[in-house]
Amino acid sequence: MSIPEISPDEALRRRRAGARLIDVREAHERVTGMAEGAEGIDRATLEAAPQAHVPDRAAPLLLICQSGQRSRQAAHALAAAGYTDVASVAGGTSRWQAEGLPTVLPDGDIDLDFHDRYSRHLRLPEVGLEGQRRLAEATVLVTGAGGLGSPAAYYLAAAGVGTLRIADDDVVDRSNLQRQILHAEDRIGQPKVASAAATLGALNPRTRIEPIAERVTSANIDRLIDRVDVVLDGADNFPVRYLLNDACVLHQKPLVYGAVHRFEGQVSVFDAGRERGRCPCYRCLFPEPPPPEDAPNCSEVGVLGVLPGVIGLLQATEVLKLLIGIGEPLRGRLLQFDALRMRFRETRLSADPDCPLCAPGRDFPGYIDYAAFCAG
């Protein structure tokens, strides 16, 4: 049976003449915009009970989807069910919009920038409009605007996280440019947080950047972590890592951990503050820091420039999953990456029942002298 395929312009003319236009895409797809006058009924629902939605089998009916394929298939199903005047819109909503025909948003929202900017997220049923709004309402603390913080913050801003609070007291150095993609040659000598704010603001003006040109310490960590949803560890030293872990346990915030060394990196999510006794904290994995001579930083031993990009993007992925509430975060798992062999390895982690910090029933011992702790 042949189904007529008509142009979007002809479909608009027929709809204004009285034909019904039904958008058979899923609800999460329709939030990016619908043809003017279209009704949203997804294909499965329409085909399951067509008479509930279109009682008159002789009424003129136009179907539209994203590209024209699903609407054509739905039209065949309705024709087989006895509908005699069904047509499919060739090219679907994509062609409709490309030809500049009138489009409306189903929820009445006129924020076209939001729908255009995040259209690929909105089409994912796991994200959709609700998930994107969660991102827009979220605040993430990024400690460090360096190798890990740069790619992580870049993609978190692009994804639409509402507020990024970035803390770093360093300035841009030429040696940073090999891996710290938030910065540029003409910003050498500028505070890294100012450089980060400029780059991220140009990328996505919808994301609010809170640049904090301070070293993360016990004196300011409670202020920095206040009202944030997730903490991303972009630090390059052990004192800050232990401090972040302790503060996240105290304030019940998930901590997305990342670290790099030469050609290797690792990522995990420590969520012991909210999942005490079930999820480990950083101290469960590393009760004590390694001796300083066994843990040199990037300035001492070097690092492959793309490696922080790989690890930072994995961290950003974990942050988005936590904020939206999808997938299986890396709680209780350490993901290790070997760039030279291009291999990932996963290690299961358990909460330490005797952890001095996060063991069930244990009171918070207070912040310590982390520099002395890591030096000793």
**193: nearest Cα among 229, 222, 164:** 164
| Cβ neighbours of 325 (radius 10 Å) | 11
Evaluate whether 93 touches 23 at the Cβ level (below 8 Å).
Answer: yes
Choosing from 65, 248, 281, 298, the catalytic residue is: 298
Helix/strand/coil for 229? coil
Distance of alpha carbon 315 from the chain centroid? 10
Per the structure block, which two tokens stand in for 79? 């024709």
Q: Strand runs (DSSP E) across the chain, as ranges? A: 5-6, 20-23, 34-35, 39-40, 61-64, 86-89, 103-104, 139-143, 163-167, 208-212, 230-233, 255-261, 264-270, 333-338, 343-348
Residues 287-317, buried b or exposed e (16+ Cβ, 10 A)?
A: eebeeeeeeeebeeeebbeebbbbbbbbbbb
Report the C-alpha gap between 140 and 161 in whole angstroms: 8
Per DSSP, 295 falls in state S
298 included as an active-site residue: yes
Q: CA-to-CA distance for 78 and 213, rounded, in angstroms?
A: 63
Q: Single out the residue of 84, 49, 90, 96 nearest to residue 69, CA to CA.
A: 90
What is the separation of C-alpha 99 from the centre of its chain, rounded to a whole number of angstroms? 32
Q: Is 58 exposed, middle or buried (0-12, 13-18, 19+ CB in 10 A)?
A: exposed
3-state secondary structure of 245: helix
Which residues are marked as active site?
298
